[in-house]
Amino acid sequence: MEILAFGVQADEKPLVERAFQGHHEVRCLDVFLNEDTAPIATGYEVVCTSVNCDLGHRVLQTLAAGGTQMVAQRSTGFNNIDLQVAERLAMTVARVSYYSPYSVAEFAWTLAMAVNRRVVRASTRTRDFDFRLDGLMGRDLHGRTVGVLGTGKIGEAFARIAHGFGMNLLGWDIAENPVCVQLGMRYVPKDQLLAESDLVSLHVPLLPETRNLIDAGALKAMKDDAILINSSRGGLIDSAALVAELREGRFTGVGLDVYEAEAGLFFLDKSLQAIEDDTLARLVTFPNVLVTSHQAYYTREAVGQIVEATLKNVLDYKAGRRSENVLVPRS
């Protein structure tokens, strides 16, 4: 069986091909699945997708009409998939429920340290042989308070690093993580966490109840000199409200690896095109904002685990097995 994989990055392609070798043939495309590219999948029983692929009802209907019976998503998130339509079309859907939490947690800290210590500005200056320190002063994180919204595997890994810095830990989640409690984390209401934290990092999934978790009110509840980090899902933050607060001169730094309207932008070269998204265009102009293109997960270890889990999902599908990764089972 030949599998069609959409949105495969150049660094990712050899890992995908090596993993599937000896099991199934895989055809890797760098284009993302959407209404325009869906007809390419005609004749493929299984398609493999990434988080920025569009799997709305029209795309799924096109896939089903072309003979696709399974979608194997190469990510933990699946908010881009209309699961109800997939079920109605008798289409199996599986995701990767687990991969290295350290990849995302470590990158979240990379963003936090970069904005705190003005690393991007310093690097730009020294390339021009400008070695002044004016405007580059950061803050010690030791002894300060970090608020972790979402304390699952990634949030726990983030909290372990914070503990190593000697920070006070505040947490917010629907259930307490015993490991985080052992690290000294206190679970508090969200508003209290936002008001008391010097650094806030988001590690919750994007669900209807978490969309715009950080809205205008939440942003106003934060300290004026706080640092905000989002390496989870862009829809957790009301980007327009964030721009409004930044225009008021608030926040020491903001690190965003995700953006609520990133589909059609992230993972693509748009350097020669006008960006029509005014909110994103404004965000990247602030000197205290660092935006990266959804790369927190992008380590050799994490991508390798994602690819191996995706292969297992396909093998389970062919064998009629069901695992914890299955979102819509085979009918």
Indicate which residues carry an active-site annotation: 233, 262, 294
Q: In which residue are the tokens 């106003």 written? A: 220
